Chain A
């Protein structure tokens, strides 16, 4: 799979203009379109759309991490939903606790604990009264978990299909644990009915707009971080691991350490995505962290174009946009579409949307300077 996938190696050192243009559109233009034009203008971006977009961008942060580990390092992790879920539940627990007396039962405890006759807050909930603890926890818990899991997995050289299957089992088990844990984590219903964050009402469009802006900033930060990793020496080793781990090992590197590092970074980004997702969507349930969601995350990256950071972002946004449009109009059709995406992205366009764009660009430039391109094609 490696031979035709050296696009990133040729990317220039400086950040491309597309990054700044996209950043400007997402960070400045879209919130402005939400605020300034009157509601009936066609330029107006509704609160709903902006909020939905914020959700997709949170997913894009996760996709960046997944691209780092799958696209660049060649390790297929089917358990990314678990790390996402850990981050999301950390934030969800904080939001649950800040509801306070506003809950249906007016108790200090979350509602589901009242139903389940839990008298006292479980110990592991207590740190989440504090907002900084929740934010740090949302990133740190998945990180530590990935560190332990990854250490065990990579040390024993579990790789390829084996690693994919083990992480898939991890997703199944995490789903089971969260699903059956009615008394401590709300079971199937998950955590929901959030009211406020740091004193701001979550139902207000201003709060949601702020959350959107924060998400865009985090995405930008994550993008820069990933780019920095890839352009560093470590990034070169990661790509080398993907192409031939054996050769990397024989050259005197310890591939396991690099793999562990990138796995942990991916988990941290997934946790961050979960942290940003929860206040924007207002609910987190075990259904979002199981086997199928974890696989869908992989497909975001594949559709966008694996091995390019822009592809990961593009894939996460476009697949989710497609999903949210299609499930609205043809709910029965979406699984067919998703299945078809899985098959066609592997068989027909392995480089994803970015690959298609690159091909188009090449074709256009080839038409401009036909004789030169001929020589290139042969090379």
Chain B
């Protein structure tokens, strides 16, 4: 302990004053003037009737004991009366957290450090500092240092306090803000002493620094959430855009094809649960992607063959017919699967990445962002680097001429539609990470993805990308101020106003058509 004698004396006086409210805090901060005990003696004296004896014993346990004592303490606790039980409980917690500081799992280390910081026991300061010195993981070390500084803030020594304030400001610690505010307010009172005013100034400066940082990290998180939502929108609407852009078909059942993909994921999971060893379970999710793609693509193929091919060139009729299909699919899912089905995300998608203080990026969101990028890349490859893509583009530009050149236009239509539907399945697969698998899954997103396609313009993937970025970003930007509902109202108004300026979307196909 790096504590001067004066501070210890002050400590003693202070503790005498507050020992009534916070006995446990008193225990570890008192100077060890009492005769030292061996651990075994201490354990037997824990149940002593004499309070001072008991406190000495507890202090000894904290100072000398380790996690191995917990079962014995538990035993003692079970047989003791209420006041003893209450005194032993925090001691056990302290020991447990102390042991956890060396746990191989970083999350456990981190939460132990957080708990020690919240427990307000000065005795934990050296533990935390020792652990921080050995810690290799950046953010666990950060938490340990933050907790140690928080504990130091409660010390009585002016210099230590000031140092702790500086440290917390340097760490941009959000957790410190309430205590710092208290200090700042105390210094502003009329009765404040010079020392309190000094502390108050330091605390106020620290709060300002922390809050500036918080504003920045908030902004970064908002941007991240915007990108995350945008990529979800992109994944959902990109299949729609392929079909709408290249074939002029508005597929209202797109949302239900997503649902098919999501249920495909669910079924793959159930299959793994039922037939394969639990060790393989984490891999189910990767395997579920092709399953989702193929399931949705074959549904799409069927839909094209039975309904859509009779309706080419009549988009409004297609809209109504596919809406009917969507109702049937949705009700079928409801009848067959019931209302709610959860998919368990694989372990490697749990948790997240800490980028900087106050900015935490969940793995599943990062995964969706990466997936949307991959999807776009694959679509580009298919459309612009493959034989099918060449034919699709040819058919889009001039169906009759393509047919004359020997391109099987009917087949191209069917494959394009199946490909777009497969993309919806992949979107459904990704959506299982974010929400429940339910019959209404597609309905929740369909209007949004239509808005993206309309805003982006038909026929150009770039439009879909920019529009989903714009709408997703705007959504997250408006949400904190306006709330989810009025944010959406606002976006609709903005889209309508935007269409005033560009009636056929951001990236309209250029041509000489006065009217198409």
CA A295 to CA B252, docked complex, whole Å: 12
Inter-chain CA distance A116–B325, complex, in Å, is 41
Q: Which residues of B contact A38 (CB under 8 A)?
A: none
- Is B515 on the interface with A (CB-CB < 8 A)? yes
The answer, yes or no, to whether B340 is at the interface (CB within 8 Å) is: no
Residues of the B chain whose Cβ atoms lie less than 8 Å from the Cβ of A341: 324
Interface size on B, residues (CB 8 A): 44
> A324 near B: Cβ within 8 Å?
no
Asked if B492 contacts A299 (CB within 8 A), the reply is no
CB distance from A16 to the nearest CB of B (A): 28
Question: In the complex, A339 Cα to B328 Cα: how many Å?
Answer: 5
Q: Given A335-B328, A335-B331, verify A162-B499 contact (CB < 8 Å).
A: yes
- B313-341 with Cβ < 8 A to chain A: 314-321, 323-328, 330-332, 335
Residues from chain B with a CB closer than 8 A to the CB of A173 are 488-489, 492
Which chain B residues lie closer than 8 Å to A149 at the CB level?
496
A169 to chain B, nearest CB (A): 5
Tell me if A27 is interfacial: C-beta within 8 Å of chain B: no
Is B454 interfacial (CB-CB < 8 Å)? Answer: yes
B483-516 residues with Cβ-Cβ distance < 8 A to A are 485-486, 488-489, 492, 495-497, 499-501, 503-504, 514-515
- Cβ-defined partner of A176 (8 Å) among B317, B327, B489, B501: B489
Contact B447 A291 (CB under 8 A): yes
Could you tell me the distance between the alpha carbons of A169 and B454 in the complex, rounded to whole angstroms?
11
Is A133 an interface residue, CB under 8 A from the partner? Answer: no
Q: Which residues of A have CB within 8 Å of B318?
A: 346
Asked whether, in the complex, the Cβ of A339 is within 8 Å of the Cβ of B447, the reply is no
Q: Is the C-beta of B310 less than 8 angstroms from some C-beta in chain A?
A: yes
Q: Is the CB of A166 within 8 A of B454?
A: yes
Identify the closest chain B residue to A344 (Cβ): B324
- Measured in the bound complex, the distance between the Cα atoms of B495 and A295 in whole Å is 22
Q: Considering the chains assembled together, what is the distance between the CA atoms of A180 and B483 in angstroms?
A: 11
Determine whether B429 belongs to the interface, using a CB cutoff of 8 Å to chain A: no
Complex: how many Å from CA A328 to CA B2?
80
Bound-state CA distance A340–B450 (Å) is: 23
Given known A-B contacts A173-B489, A176-B489, A166 and B495 have beta carbons under 8 A apart: yes
B495 A169 Cβ-Cβ under 8 A: yes
Asked if A1 and B317 sit within 8 Å, CB to CB, the answer is yes
Q: Establish whether residues A161 and B310, one from each chain, have CB atoms under 8 Å apart when the complex forms.
A: no
B335 interface neighbour in A158, A166, A332, Cβ under 8 Å: A332
Query: Contacts A158-B503, A165-B450: A176 and B485 contacting too (C-beta < 8 A)?
Result: yes
Per the bound structure, the CA–CA distance linking A176 and B447 in Å amounts to: 13
Expressed in whole angstroms, the Cα–Cα distance for A246 and B516 within the complex equals 9
Interface centre among B314, B319, B486, B500 (most CB of A within 10 A): B319
B496 touches A153 (CB 8 A): yes
- Tell me, yes or no, whether B154 is within 8 Å of chain A by CB: no
B residues within 8 A CB of A152?
A: 496-497, 500
Chain A residues within 8 Å of B343, by CB: none
Question: Which residues of chain B are within 8 angstroms of A1 by Cβ–Cβ distance?
Answer: 314, 317
Q: How far, in whole Å, are A299 and B319 apart by their CA atoms in the complex?
A: 12
Cα-based distance from A23 to B276 in the complex (angstroms): 69
Within the complex, the shortest CB–CB distance from B496 to chain A, in Å, comes to 6
Q: A332–B331 contact, CB under 8 A?
A: yes
A346 to B454, CA, bound (A): 24
In-complex Cβ contact of A169 among B324, B328, B451, B504 (8 A): B451
List chain B residues, Cβ under 8 A from A299: 320
List, in ascending order, chain B residues with CB within 8 A of A169's CB.
Answer: 447, 450-451, 492, 495
Q: A161-B316, A177-B485, A343-B307 are in contact. Are A336 and B450 (CB under 8 A)?
A: no
A215 nearest CB across to chain B (Å): 28
Q: Indicate with 1 or 0, residue by residue over A139-173, a CB within 8 angstroms of chain B CB atoms.
A: 00000000001001101111011101110111011
Residues of B within 8 A of A335 (CB): 327-328, 330-331
Q: Determine the chain B residues whose CB is within 8 A of the CB of A246 once the complex forms.
A: 514-515
Residue A338 is within 8 A (CB to CB) of chain B in the complex = yes
Minimum Cβ distance to chain A for residue B328 (Å): 4
Of B320, B324, B485, B500, which is within 8 A of A180 by CB?
Answer: B485
Known contacts A162-B454, A162-B504, A346-B311; is-contact A295 B323 (Cβ 8 Å) = yes
Residue in A76, A177, A343 whose CB lies within 8 Å of B316: A76
Q: B258: CB under 8 A from chain A?
A: no
B307 touches A156 (CB 8 A): no
A contact residues around B515 at 8 Å (CB): 245-246, 249
A149 to B310, CA, bound (A): 33
> A336 vs B244: C-alpha distance in the bound complex, in angstroms?
26
Contacting A at CB under 8 A, from B188-231, are none
In contact, A342 and B321 (Cβ under 8 angstroms):
yes
Which residues of A189-204 are within 8 A (CB) of B? none
Let me know if A302 is at the binding interface, CB within 8 A.
Answer: yes
B384-412 CB contacts (< 8 Å) to partner A: none
Please give the distance in Å from A292's CB to the nearest CB on chain B. Answer: 8
A377 at interface, CB cutoff 8 A: no
CB pairs A–B below 8 angstroms (5 shown): A155-B500, A335-B328, A343-B328, A347-B307, A347-B321
Binding site for B on A (CB under 8 A): 1, 76, 149, 152-153, 155-158, 160-162, 164-166, 168-170, 172-173, 176-177, 180, 245-246, 249, 291, 295, 298-299, 302, 332, 335-336, 338-343, 345-347, 350
The 7 closest A-B pairs by CB, nearest first: A342-B324, A339-B327, A339-B328, A335-B331, A246-B515, A343-B324, A339-B324
